[in-house]
Amino acid sequence: MKAQKPLLAMLAISSCIITGLAQAPLPPELEDPECLGINKEPYHATLMPYKNLKEALAAKRYSSSYCRMLNGMWKFYWVPEPSQRPVNFYKPEFDVSGWKEIPVPSNWEVHGYGTPFYRNFGYTIRRDWPRIMSEPPRSWTAYKERNPVGSYRRDFELPASWQGRRIFITFEGVDSAFFLWINGQKVGYSVNSRNPAEFDITEYVKPGKNVLAVEVYKYSSGTWLEDQDMWRLSGIFRNVYIWSAPQVHIRDFFVKTDLDQQYRDAIVEVTAKIKNYSKTRMPQRRLTVTLYDARGKSVPGATGQAIVPDLNPGEEVPVKVSFCVTNPAKWTAETPNLYTTVLALEDGRETEWLSVRTGFRKIEIKGRQFLVNGVPIKLKGANRHEHWPDVGHAITEEQMIRDLVLLKQGNCNHVRTAHYSNCPRWYELCDEWGIWLVAEANVEYHGYDRRFDNEPRMKAAIVDRNVANVENFKNHPSVIIWSLGNECGVGGSNFMAALEAVKAIDPARPTHYERFGIGAGNPADIDSHMYVHPNDLRRIATDPHLTKPFYHCEYAHAMFNSMGALGEYNDLYDQYPSLLGGAIWEWQDQGLWNRRNPKRQFIAFGGGFGEVPHDHYFIHKGVVFSERQPKPHYPEMKRVYQWIGIYPVDLSSGKIKVRNKYAFITLQGFNGFWSITEDGRVIQKGKLPKLALAPGQEEEIIVPFKRFSPKPGAIYHLNVSFKLTKDQLWAKAGFEVAAAQFELPFATPSPVPEVDAMPPLKLCETSQTITVTGKGFEVVFDKQTGTFAQLKCDGKDILVPGGGPHLHLWRAPHRNDDMWAFRDWQRYGLLDLKRSVQQVSVSQPRPSEVRIEAVILAEGRQDYVVAHSVVYTLYGDGTIVSDNAVTPSGRRIPWARLGVRLQLLPEYAQVTYLGRGPMENYADRKRGSDVGLYSATTHQLMTPYAKPMECGNHEDVRWVAVYGSRLPVLMAQADEGVIQFSALPYPDEVLHPTEYSIDLPSSTNTVLVIAKRTLGVGSAGCGPRPLDQYIVWSEPATFSYVLRLLPAGTKDFVTAGRLGIPIIRAKPTPVPVEKIAKPKPPLIRGKAIAASSYEPGEGEIHHAVDDNEHTFWHSRWSGEPAQPPHFLVIDLGREINIAAVHYVARVDMENGHIRDYEIYLSNDGQNWGQPVIKGRIPRDADKFRIALPKPTKARYLKLVALSEHLGQPFATVAELGVEEASEKQ
């Protein structure tokens, strides 16, 4: 065994509580960053010896005659910290009969042992490298679970036929480090949880029963390099098996394929490492390498041989075999053609058979383009963690295949193995199914920033993990890029060493490491960055100084209701050859089932197990849910990523353009179909002419629909679809791979009912209400609330008390809104606007028409006010037209929408609509949602995010009908064009504070939101906020919508939805807030005459009193920043009786927002005395009134800033003024 280094830390954190068990110090290997393993076999390609050629051609490693799986139930004992572990458990005589059992593979936390942690980044133990047992805060879970240890035991027997062969044991994944014993003898140690650890156990095993013992530690030296965004779970979580090989064994081999300049013929070069494991000199033997096709037939001429020389005991030699192959079928993600390379090592008495699937492809970078087989490719995919909610990280092959089915059906051709080496079977499946892989090494120390970039003691570990990644998976054609790791400082000398090590093994594949950056300073082959704004992406694509392809390794952050602008990103990928493409973050939500309380079982996010610390909701950011049900993000991804482009040319004549966006296949394998819909119902359909477009080609075609007479008020769409003609691994024939929808220019005006022909209305006004009664309906308007108190049809009210339409400007945040917009909604009081009715009037210009006009003032916080003018025009047929004008006053902020909210009785749980669906969609995530006629319940319209939030929006809606059994119908309709709507069983006020969806109470109402515009979802959880065109800014605006009261039993919503609205009606007059709001006392600003420091240009002192909130005084920050306290002096120009001081923080960002302050007053500007007041400005107070204890006369004012909210040494003031005391004061 390797000699051990001195013990770095020997900590006994509690007394042993297990009676009769010896207490032992922490094994020193666990805190030694340079101890990477003891007695481990060197890393090598994934391989398995086979008994004969038949087995080798099948290439099923786990079914080999020379493999025995050790998966199953093992005896198990768990303790929360090392001093409590059963130190002698490895001895065969140690009695484990009373121990419980645990399945292997599994994570022990999933089975109730210890606490799962979720961290985005940051460690769950105290950050005190290299020590792992340092005392954390008492509130941390690790205070008691200092370093959990799992002790595993099982017996196994060796097949008699293995006699005389070398015996190995392989652990494909153990988190995070483990010691191994066989029959009471210590075999070795391993750290690095994500690459197979292999031991030669020949000298430790015996005929008959063998006792296997494994001691697993949750924390080790490897913990510092495994700070990935995931659940931190422990145990033996991948396959364990024993296998045997001859004494002279092909320990490793590398199959390289290269294509000629025409990308036609190939050369295969195999380098095998042959080792003599015996204790005697072994004579020479012959290595034969043969290529077999997919049918198991040898490829003519595709074979080669080499003589292996005599080998001394323990000696290993490399042997090369090469041969030519004439025009092999090429491997790409679109055409995953695989051969089988078989290696046979013969000595005249026995033959060792090994095999691997082989794909022929050549990777090149020419200029800024990434080419495979001479063809530029695009990567459109996702980052994928190995995780499933019921098993944690111990995923099965069936679960891998489920991912592959969904990925391929969603038009993904790419996966980044974020952020570690995956299970070996995953790479084999990607070879078979066709996925371009960016294979990432198991290195991330995000929570330690740059600490290890140049740390000499961490060099070996960082290099080792990269070597393991390359050696393990070098034979897989699906791997086209090696990634050195994720979010580790900026690289430094240790990553340069890793890069050199990777290139030394495999110089053919390009390399990537995002933290190297872009441009001349990047030593890797590919430029990369995360979460780049589309505008910046365009600049990168066109920058003449850049010379490498750009790979967007993480983008379109899909946390909860998000992933906006995916289409805009991919438009850029398609437009610019220099952009290789990107990977969405991330493929699936990483929820974990918490079943520890049978009465409360749920899929948890961070904190769901009571762990401290944790990163809460951040674990849910997938395109699909944790159990792989598609989220609304999935159809968007499928449509945006599709490889057949369909574009309008002349829709009136049916002319469209089809482009083959595949890189390697024609469109011969797809059938095209079309249909025409009228208000969502198919009225014509047919098949498109067969297209055989080559990659990159396009063609204009005519859709052969028959001419028809459009119906007044109806809308028509052309739908085009392409489907598979033959079964694929991932889908059956007839599966739709691409689609598009276009609105046809055939719309005719809606029929407008004649107002004078409608039944008359009865108007009754009191001091409190306005009541309008018509045939079969009655409407009551409340003058105190400025909205409808009742909407009755057939004598039944539709509204709950207080449920009439109100301006509704916020939403239960999407957890992306948290990062920007929600702060403003809270800061300016949008969650609880105080409404006051300023004026109400009613008129009846005609017997069948009544107009109600109202002006409502909605007041928030910090002087934020919205004036809402509305005119309701009621008609004798039960139609209510709402015309609205809003005028905000105060800071320009984003709104969740421009629209209103109604609250209906909970029985109104059925919804039918004509608009985009069936899943929710938003302005920046609607390409995959076609306009159609859809029906659902309000619960079905609520997207089941683990954390409740606003959801269920639908864009481009012509009308929506909400109804219930035997109840009248409320239809909302666009006045002109379209509206957006949602109809949910809960209001935002219930959704927002509720932690988990299972905690939602019974619904008490149906919440109907009608909007002209809705804020996009963006990806601001970790990336850009919505693009500007998808933001609803607080600006003067108008909007209209229509409500129709329809009798119970109405079923023909389509006809009702086609009716037009009378054009001639009163419109609201926008009312400036200043005309109706209470006047604010005038502020006196004076002149800024002195400051402790200022930033020239940007932060001049006069900016603090220039009546412009977008400029500001800033303490000096360039060069050597000025340190607090900072001060600013104002000359008010005359003596003022000051009642209050008004402070306005800078608008653009939070830097310099004052926290702790003091106010001084003076009459001469020299003598200040004691502060008249001191205190703390709340963090969310952009505008803050500091009321003095009593009015005080002074000419000069000094504001002293003691600290700022971000803890930086800055101070800023956008505006500073004083309020003069009134005579009453």
Q: How far apart are CA 677 and CA 496, in angstroms?
A: 59
Considering 29, 55, 487, 950, which one is annotated as catalytic?
487
Q: Could you tell me the sign of the dihedral formed by the alpha carbons of 950, 954, 955, 956, in that order? A: negative
Three-class DSSP category at 833: coil
Please give the single-letter amino acid code of residue 1029. Answer: Q
CA trace torsion 785, 788, 789, 792 (10° rounding): 180
Beta strands 379-383 and 414-416, pairing class: parallel
Backbone angles phi, psi at 109, to 5 degrees: -65, -30
Q: How far apart are CA 692 and CA 669, in angstroms?
A: 8
Residue 647 C-alpha from the chain's centroid: 29
Per residue in 635-671, is it b (16+ CB within 10 Å) or e — as a string?
bbbbbbbbbbebeeeebeebebebbbbbbbeebebbb
Q: Could you tell me the sign of the dihedral formed by the alpha carbons of 1050, 1053, 1055, 1061, in that order? A: positive
Q: How far apart are CA 926 and CA 944, in angstroms?
A: 18
Backbone angles phi, psi at 433, to 5 degrees: -90, -25
* 487: Cα within 13 Å, side-chain hemisphere: 19
With tokens 């491997």, the residue in question is 331
Return the H-helix or E-strand segment holding 582: strand 579-584
Q: How far apart are CA 340 and CA 324, in angstroms?
A: 15
Backbone angles phi, psi at 616, to 5 degrees: 50, -125
* Maximum distance among all Cα pairs of the chain, rounded to whole angstroms: 114
Q: Could you tell me the sign of the dihedral formed by the alpha carbons of 54, 57, 63, 68, in that order? A: positive
Q: Could you tell me the sign of the dihedral formed by the alpha carbons of 562, 567, 570, 572, in that order? A: negative
Q: Could you tell me the sign of the dihedral formed by the alpha carbons of 632, 636, 637, 638, in that order? A: positive
Distances (CA, A) of 457 to 28, 188, 453, 1015: 15, 21, 11, 50
Q: Is the separation of the CB atoms in 74 and 106 below 8 Å?
A: no
Per residue in 694-707, is it b (16+ CB within 10 Å) or e — as a string?
ebeeeeebebebee
With tokens 């639908």, the residue in question is 954
| Closest listed residue to residue 129, CA positions, set 619, 483, 461, 615 | 461
Active site residue 554: yes
Q: How far apart are CA 214 and CA 75, in angstroms?
A: 10
Q: Is the separation of the CB atoms in 23 and 83 below 8 Å?
A: yes
Active site residue 1158: no
| Closest listed residue to residue 433, CA positions, set 466, 393, 404, 467 | 404
- For residue 1223 the two structure tokens come to 């005579």
Please give the single-letter amino acid code of residue 1001. Answer: P
Considering 554, 586, 636, 1215, which one is annotated as catalytic?
554
23 secondary structure, DSSP code: P
Q: How far apart are CA 22 and CA 91, in angstroms?
A: 13
Q: How far apart are CA 465 and CA 193, in angstroms?
A: 10
Question: What size, in residues, is the chain?
Answer: 1225
Secondary structure (H, E, C), 1120-1178: CCCCCCEEEEEEEEEEEEEEEEEEECCCCCCCCCECEEEEEEECCCCCCCCCCEEEECC
Please give the positions annotated as active site: 487, 554
